[in-house]
Amino acid sequence: MSFMRSEASEAPEAIACFLDHNKTALHALGRRLRSMDPPVVLTSARGSSDNAAGYLKYLTEIALGVPCASVGASVASLYGASLRVRNGLSVTISQSGKSPDIVALQEAARTSGALTVAIVNVDDSPAAKSADICLPLCAGPEQSVAATKTFIVSLVASAAIVAEWKGDAALSKAIAELPEQLARARELEWSSFIETTARAESLYVLGRGPSFPIASETALKLKETCAIHAEAYSAAEVMHGPLELVEAGFPVLVYAQDDVARPATEAAVARLKSMGAAVAVAGGDLPVIAADHPLLAPIPMIQTAYLAIETLAQTLGRNPDKPRQLKKVTETV
């Protein structure tokens, strides 16, 4: 068994550990955020962690109406710009918590008067130590280059912050059910997706709203573990320029969660199928486990997707743990 498969399979237990370990800190953070009422959220992250930050963006904007932006780390680390985010919230998401540019952006936000929160898997890392508040992921060691369980726990951490900030009991209750749901999600198989994608040179991965960052993460994993050119788009954005590349047999993976975006996503699926695209729909012909809240729907989906991608990599004769050009910790400036 690859490290990628074993680590992705540990996500349900890692979520439970995170929620238990950080229960008091999350309650306190929620009270503080309700009191200070930040007008804006900025995020500091790269790679898979930036995709998790994208999920946080959709949750803060949908559930709270608070704008959230992923700020380019080089703005602080290379260009030395002074940020103007006083009374804002800055969230750093990182597995290692040690990339110099990420740490520099967090420090720039803190210096400007933002409350800084670090979501990291190494709780004695530079990002953890320099943040106002650290929420350790508690995911345990992750040896595969491909991040899986740390990404999933980062999604849950993002949802938990929003639930506590809003004081949303229904969302908090639904988050508590995720470990059991992901345990079931890891038993599902996407055989048809694996068979189609194994023959592909490139494909699109689509989502809408909270599932769009999950599409971005899926495309990233297909690149790094399977060396397949995968591009992620919003199910709305793909209807513009990217549609020109679609032809008969072109593979498309679509995340279709059951929320207000579902009808528009289904319309996009119908258009793609009419053009001859080979469309697979997570939440349609690909089985998924439903979450108890629509904002959480993408989390069980990525649990199943990770294991399908690991199988695909093995099918293609690749080692999903050791991509040729990558290493586990990438430090950029």
> CA separation (Å) from 255 to 10, 79, 130, 218, 280?
23, 37, 37, 10, 9
Same fold, 3-176 and 183-315: yes
What pTM was estimated for this model as a whole?
0.95
Domain ranges of the chain: 3-176, 183-315
Q: Where are the alpha helices (DSSP H) in 10-143?
A: 11-21, 23-36, 48-59, 74-77, 100-111, 126-130
In what helix (H) or strand (E) does residue 232 lie, and over which residues does it extend? strand 229-234
In what helix (H) or strand (E) does residue 4 lie, and over which residues does it extend? helix 3-9
Confidence (pLDDT) at 239: 86
Confidence (pLDDT) at 158: 98
In sequence order, which residues have a C-beta less than 8 Å from that of residue 268 and are 6 or more positions away?
206, 235, 236, 238, 239, 254
Per-residue tokens: 129: 């130590």
Confidence (pLDDT) at 224: 93
- Using a 10 angstrom Cβ sphere, with 0-12 exposed, 13-18 middle and 19 or more buried, the burial of residue 277 is buried
Confidence (pLDDT) at 270: 96
In sequence order, which residues have a C-beta less than 8 Å from that of residue 208 and are 6 or more positions away?
234, 235, 236, 255, 256, 257, 261, 264, 265
Confidence (pLDDT) at 180: 98
Architecture of domain 3-176: 3-Layer(aba) Sandwich (3.40)
- What does the pLDDT profile of the chain (333 residues) look like in tens digits? 899 999 999 999 999 999 999 999 999 999 999 999 999 999 999 999 999 999 999 999 999 999 999 998 899 989 998 899 999 999 999 988 988 999 999 999 999 999 999 999 999 999 999 999 999 999 998 888 889 999 999 999 999 999 999 999 999 999 999 999 999 999 999 999 999 999 998 999 999 999 999 999 999 999 999 999 999 999 999 988 888 889 999 999 999 999 999 999 999 999 999 999 999 999 999 999 999 999 999 999 999 999 999 999 999 999 998 876 555 555 565
**CATH number of the domain located at residue range(s) 183-315 in this protein:** 3.40.50.10490
